[in-house]
Copies of this chain bind each other. A is one copy, B any other.
Amino acid sequence: MELTYSPAEQAFRTEVRDWIRENLPPALAAKVRGGKRLSKADYELWHARLQTRNWLAWHWPVEHGGPGWTPVQKHIFDEEMIAAGAPRIIPFGVNMLGPVLIEFGTEAQKARWLPRILDGSDWWCQGYSEPGAGSDLASLRTRAVRQGDHYVVNGQKTWTTLGHHANMMFCLARTDPDAKPQEGISFLLIDMASPGIEVRPIVTLDGEHEVNEVWLTDVKVPAKNLVGEENRGWTCAKYLLGFERTGIAGVAFSKAALSHLKRVARERRKDGRPLAENPFFAARMARLEIDLMAMDIFNLRMIAAAAQGKSPGPEASLLKIKGTEVRQEASDLIRRALGPYAMPFLPEALDEGWNGEPVGPDYANTAATQYFNLRKTSIYGGSNEIQKNIYAKLALDL
């Protein structure tokens, strides 16, 4: 057993860290760290920078232009990106559609779409979830009917993250209504400029707009935009679910949150002493830190297993559950630490270029909204309840 990184891995970490320092604009990192709104241009800039180094499509196989990293390298890259305050890579094109096309796409599809993912020509969004379907993809109701050389699609998608930025959507639609629920689904690529598409914003409980509803009314989709076989779209969707998910536990996010929490608890005071010295608060922080230390090792155990060629098992479900719980707990403590100053909320302070005076400490404004926003992490990507069902069935044989 060896818990430390090899010299080569440490050198890789240095390389990544140095490159980020040189390439990530400090103003952009400050926006990420301050919880400000990021524009489409912010993401596009960062994607393009990464692509200059060939680090955008780091999940892709070498033969399609991926850097060929080991699981440990991927983990290190992920940690460094988050620690540096880099914007996240928008996953829909590069991390989700890319691998599906590489596995199931025709040569023509690969030739057309993969380069456009890398050079930023397309902004993809994901059309999986539907109102009323929740975590139950098999009850999908969007219909696609083949008419000559195209499909006609009708239905409604929801929780479409950054769909208002997207010009393309990959989408699951039912092509055989008589088949069993999980069969008869197809995987389609849809131009968001097609007539009959309407994107409606969903304002979330924190007052922000990041997700959308997408309404499809008699939308024509060329048949050549079918990925994989007709009625076998479930295979593509499942492939993605089983795809190696580095960072599923969000350890790097939680580490960043913990170190922010420690700073807040040193600065805020309770009974005339730093809050960090209050025994109850210190206990809450210490329990969190211990949970996180353990989860870090748990995560590394999975990565080391992947590095030995083991495919990711149902333990990914456990990591997802614990990862979201720990991250939510960290945000809860940050909110708590602020005391009354968790109350004020100035939405205008999230805007780029806002130069007003904060109310209370400068980090207070987003503490509570961040706590509420993170409730989503245990709901999406397969809710924690679904993860428990999966693990009970696959790993515990119950």
| Residue positions of A touching B, CB distance < 8 A | 279-280, 283
Q: How far is the CB of A286 from chain B (nearest CB, A)?
A: 10
> What are 4 A-B pairs at a CB distance below 8 A?
A279-B279, A279-B280, A280-B283, A283-B283
Q: How far is the CB of A271 from chain B (nearest CB, A)?
A: 12
4 A-B pairs closest in CB distance: A279-B279, A280-B283, A279-B280, A283-B283
Closest partner residue, chain B, to A283 (CB atom): B280
Number of copies: 2
Q: How far is the CB of A277 from chain B (nearest CB, A)?
A: 11
CA distance A283 to B283 in the complex (A): 11
* List of B residues within 8 angstroms of A280 by Cβ: 279, 283
CA distance A283 to B280 in the complex (A): 8
Closest partner residue, chain B, to A282 (CB atom): B279
* List of B residues within 8 angstroms of A279 by Cβ: 279-280
Closest partner residue, chain B, to A278 (CB atom): B279
CA distance A280 to B279 in the complex (A): 7
CA distance A92 to B283 in the complex (A): 47
CA distance A358 to B283 in the complex (A): 35
* List of B residues within 8 angstroms of A283 by Cβ: 280, 283
Closest partner residue, chain B, to A279 (CB atom): B279
CA distance A279 to B277 in the complex (A): 12
CA distance A77 to B394 in the complex (A): 53
CA distance A283 to B287 in the complex (A): 15
CA distance A280 to B280 in the complex (A): 7
CA distance A124 to B280 in the complex (A): 51
Q: How far is the CB of A284 from chain B (nearest CB, A)?
A: 11
CA distance A283 to B278 in the complex (A): 13
Q: How far is the CB of A147 from chain B (nearest CB, A)?
A: 45
Q: How far is the CB of A360 from chain B (nearest CB, A)?
A: 27
CA distance A283 to B279 in the complex (A): 10
CA distance A279 to B283 in the complex (A): 10
CA distance A286 to B280 in the complex (A): 13
Q: How far is the CB of A243 from chain B (nearest CB, A)?
A: 36
CA distance A280 to B283 in the complex (A): 8
CA distance A280 to B282 in the complex (A): 10
